[in-house]
A = this chain, B = another copy of it.
């Protein structure tokens, strides 16, 4: 049995259905992001900064913060777009820009305390809304969804390359 052929009908059908599911999910994401406290783009960046941070409360830890170019790469946007968002976060008091001691061209971006709190609160609220939606599913449905999430994660990971 031949699989993985580019023209395999089953594969194309799966591709179509997955695209369709993602397309409709846009509305879901929009609904979740409509709570206003933080835009999707800003929450994404804050979360990324949080994950990238060594999470050491020790402020003397080496090379803290993430460089602008790295942020852009992580978020899949161009550097000027990242700069723009960073400036907004900075003005909102959620992030800080500091010069990189080892390279004066570079800029290190870190979360502030307020940024950390904002990310936690925004995620909590969105997760609660999503949990409410998921609560109407059957146990089998939830199991199927849970089983697919790692797969979707692998799909998304292939894009990094």
Residues of A within 8 A of B (CB): 3-6, 8, 11-12, 14-19, 21-32, 40, 44, 76, 123, 126-128, 130-137, 139, 141-142, 144-149, 151-156, 158-159
Contact = CB atoms under 8 A, between A and B. Distances in A.
Contacts of A145: 14, 18, 148, 151-152, 155
Contacts of A76: 26-27, 30
Which 3 pairs show the lowest CB-CB distances between chains A and B?
A148-B148, A15-B130, A15-B131
Nearest to A27: B76
Main secondary structure on chain A at its contact with chain B? helix
B28 A156 contact: yes
Contacts of A30: 76
B148 A12 contact: no
17 contacts: A3-B135, A4-B136, A11-B131, A14-B131, A14-B134, A14-B149, A15-B127, A15-B131, A15-B134, A16-B127, A16-B130, A25-B152, A30-B76, A31-B159, A137-B154, A145-B148, A145-B151
